[in-house]
Amino acid sequence: MNSLCYDEYKNLVLEYIPTGDISVDMNITNWLELADFQQQGENWVFPKTKDLVKFISIVKQIKEFFEEEKIELDICESLQNVVNNSVNKDNYQQAVEKGLRVKNECPVCAKTWPSHDQNQLKECGEKITPDISPNFKRKLMPYQKLSVSHLLAVGNGANFSVPGSGKTTITYAAISKWLDDGIIDKILVIGPTASFFPWEDEYKLCFGKKPRSIRVRGEVGKQLPNLNHDLFLMHFSTAMHRVAEIIEFMSNNKVMLIIDESHNIKSPQQKTWARTARAIAPFAIRRTILSGTPMPNDARDLWVQITFLWPYDFPLGNDITYMRYAKNHGIGKFKNALDPLFTRIRKRDLDLPKPEFKNHFVSLSPVQAEIYNVIVSKTLEEIYDMREKAKLQRFRVAKMIRLLQAASNPTLIYEKSDEFDVTNEEFGVPKQKVSLTSIKHESPDTYEKIVSYSSKEIPAKLVEATKLAKELLAKGEKVIIWSSFVTNMEIFENQLLKEERPILIYGDVSKDEEDEDNRDKRIQEFKDDPNPRILIATPASLAESVSLHINSKTGEKVCSNAIYLDRNFNGAQFMQSMDRIHRLGMAQDTKVTYHLIIGKRTIDEKIDERLWQKFTDMSNALNDSWPTILDYDGTREEISKEEAQKDFNALVDHLKELKKDLEKEDGN
């Protein structure tokens, strides 16, 4: 008789008697090896593990596998009790039924939600009253109420609403009820550092008082089990090194565990953080995950996130089966399992005022145009001469960066001509270093023009950005200038906008709250100053959890104007940067304006075309009721080959078109 049980060392031992059917026996052997079992004599052994979730998963998978093969398997009583006790800790099936009911049945008019038109959705949304605490002070928007009711119903749920829809407020609304009922008494948020301030700030808005909060990092992590606060904030990397402390802390308290920007968990193959999430999940009383884009790579990103919510029930099945299916088919057959566990507010549900886009086409200054045209010619020659090398992504990125530098400010080429580190935050490309051939050896005359460029003229795009910024200040407006290059930012700070005292934020600005000067303080200075101000930033430095549209303390408008000095092919960063000033909470009569500075006859024109293509695709995804594969946060490990090829084709088209135009002009 086949049997499954513990041994004296708490290893999982499978005693398996071959059936004699070669096909069946081979399937079982292959599966056991894939599941990390080790053959010891006639038995198969799965080593003792502290990962209770993985342990229960293996037991359930073996049982299901043997049932599918119609082979008898005896599970010893002690092991069966462990499985039963774990599975019964949370009532998963009841949560599924409640979740579906909330998502399908309108409590106001008794119709199904899908049968509502937009007006009915708004009307019923206004009348819904989620069962939250009277101590909750913030007014919920109609489209947020369903998500609050859903989280209260399922207990452990996901909020996949689009960025800027109020996921933090929704979560706090549900928490208010659980705090009143004594279900939880502590809140632990694990997420990016940028999310810490919003969690602290919105706590005050939601509960009318400042939280007793602590940011857990470094040596503070050792003291976690002994700390007595209401709100605990922890970065992903800290959590990975403090698993034991987190488990002890949650074992001694009734904790609501929140994973913010949960797409960072990714798939089981991303072992360190995925293993951490699974290890700590069982010890929380309530769990939720928050992400506007839960699948930055593909559908495989979902398994660990959903399993984190219900660690003993595996809503998406075992990881091996799910990964195989999801790789080729996406969510597909798992939609019914996923549907009860999440809510999603779409971009159009926010009913935000439509923004205005203004293109400012700028002719390059004479010397800059000469430099740019030479670089175009040289770049096209390099692509033709090095066809095999031109297939490499790092080669392509190097050429793109050099053109961006020339179109923005040729001085940048001189400063970074020997080596440009494209792991730098501005470009959102795969980790690598790119060697840029020195212009000095390619074209001495052009090199001399680049070296002396700053003494001859001010780049045309910087002149235009300065003019626009000063005009907006004169109207009493605040404005943010986006640029990919820190050198340009410093030129604004020290020369062109020196009297306007701009605030700069980029990768080297500290995020540590204990530093006298840090990112959060600079953001607050920009938001709190009642006078017109200029903020200059790189898109990546304000990529997540940052709102610049209103002041949460006063409710007053802060900024509704953005100037884009330069952009690259990174569509995710472009979308994110726009959302910094176009978000939930803004008045309907707010006029949001994006000023796009585009160098005539430069790579800017092709980048603009490609970004609008990506903007359309991303907008469609953000308005889908189902989470789709979307790298809105720029977290994808690799740019897809198809996407990279389209970007490169656009670059080559620009080079060919400009060279053709220049040859025509020379002929005349």
Report pLDDT for 160: 93
Report pLDDT for 431: 41
Q: Look up residue 3 and give its two tokens.
A: 């049997």
Given a cut of 80, whether residue 480 has pLDDT beyond it is yes
Residue 30 confidence class, pLDDT cut points 50, 70, 90: confident
Report pLDDT for 420: 39
d(CA 79, CA 4): 8
Verdict on whether the full-model pTM lies above 0.85: no
Given a cut of 80, whether residue 659 has pLDDT beyond it is yes
Write out pLDDT tens, residues 579-632: 999 988 888 899 999 999 999 999 999 999 999 998 888 888 777 877 766 555
Given a cut of 70, whether residue 329 has pLDDT beyond it is yes
Residue 390 confidence class, pLDDT cut points 50, 70, 90: low
Least confident of 71-85, 304-318, 638-652: 638-652
Cβ-based burial of 12 (10 A; exposed 0-12, middle 13-18, buried ≥19): buried
- Which residues, including other chains, have CB under 8 Å from residue 176's CB and lie 6 or more apart? 132, 133, 135, 136, 206, 207
Q: Residue type for 630, please?
A: L
Beta-bridge partners for 159: 290, 343
Write out pLDDT tens, residues 135-149: 999 999 999 999 999
99-350, CATH topology level: Rossmann fold (3.40.50)
Residue 424 confidence class, pLDDT cut points 50, 70, 90: very low
Whether the domain at 99-350 and the domain at 458-667 fall into the same CATH topology: yes
DSSP 366-384: HHHHHHHHHHHHHHHHHHH
Least confident of 87-96, 399-408, 445-454: 87-96
d(CA 299, CA 267): 9
- State mean pLDDT over 334-346: 92
Question: DSSP character for 436?
Answer: P
For the chain, the average pLDDT equals 87
**Kind of pairing between the strands at 593-599 and 561-564:** parallel
d(CA 258, CA 236): 12
- State mean pLDDT over 305-310: 93
3-state DSSP assignment of residue 138 = coil
Residue 668 confidence class, pLDDT cut points 50, 70, 90: low
d(CA 566, CA 586): 26
Residue 389 confidence class, pLDDT cut points 50, 70, 90: low
Write out pLDDT tens, residues 625-655: 777 665 555 444 455 677 888 888 999 999 9
- Which residues, including other chains, have CB under 8 Å from residue 278's CB and lie 6 or more apart? 51, 53, 54, 304, 307, 308, 311
> What is the side-by-side strand order in the sheet with 186-191?
213-216, 231-235, 186-191, 255-260, 286-290, 157-159, 342-343
- State mean pLDDT over 210-223: 95
Between 637 and 107, name the one with better pLDDT. 107
Given a cut of 50, whether residue 69 has pLDDT beyond it is yes
Given a cut of 90, whether residue 91 has pLDDT beyond it is no
The helix or strand, by DSSP H or E, that contains position 463, with its residue range, turns out to be helix 460-474
- Which residues, including other chains, have CB under 8 Å from residue 444's CB and lie 6 or more apart? none
Percent of the chain with pLDDT over 70: 91
Residue 435 confidence class, pLDDT cut points 50, 70, 90: very low
Residue 446 confidence class, pLDDT cut points 50, 70, 90: confident
Q: How far apart are the first and last CA of the chain?
A: 92
Given a cut of 50, whether residue 433 has pLDDT beyond it is no
Write out pLDDT tens, residues 240-283: 999 999 999 999 999 999 999 898 876 444 567 888 998 899 99
Report pLDDT for 121: 85
CATH of domain 458-667: 3.40.50.300
Long-range residue pairs from 72-75, CB within 8 A, at least 24 positions apart, any chain: 72/1, 72/2, 73/2, 73/3, 73/4, 74/1, 74/2, 74/3, 74/4, 75/3, 75/4, 75/5
- State mean pLDDT over 108-113: 88
Write out pLDDT tens, residues 376-388: 988 888 888 776 6
Given a cut of 90, whether residue 183 has pLDDT beyond it is yes
Residue ranges covered by each domain of the chain: 3-87, 99-350, 365-455, 458-667
- State mean pLDDT over 426-439: 46
Report pLDDT for 430: 42
Q: Look up residue 594 and give its two tokens.
A: 């994006």
Report pLDDT for 627: 74
Least confident of 30-34, 287-291, 476-480: 30-34
Write out pLDDT tens, residues 188-205: 999 988 899 999 999 999
Strand spans (E) along 108-177: 157-159
Report pLDDT for 54: 73
Report pLDDT for 270: 53
**Kind of pairing between the strands at 157-159 and 356-362:** unpaired
Least confident of 34-48, 383-397, 459-473: 383-397
Report pLDDT for 87: 52
Report pLDDT for 626: 76
| Structure-derived torsion over alpha carbons of residues 17, 20, 25, 29, reported in degrees to the nearest 10 | 50
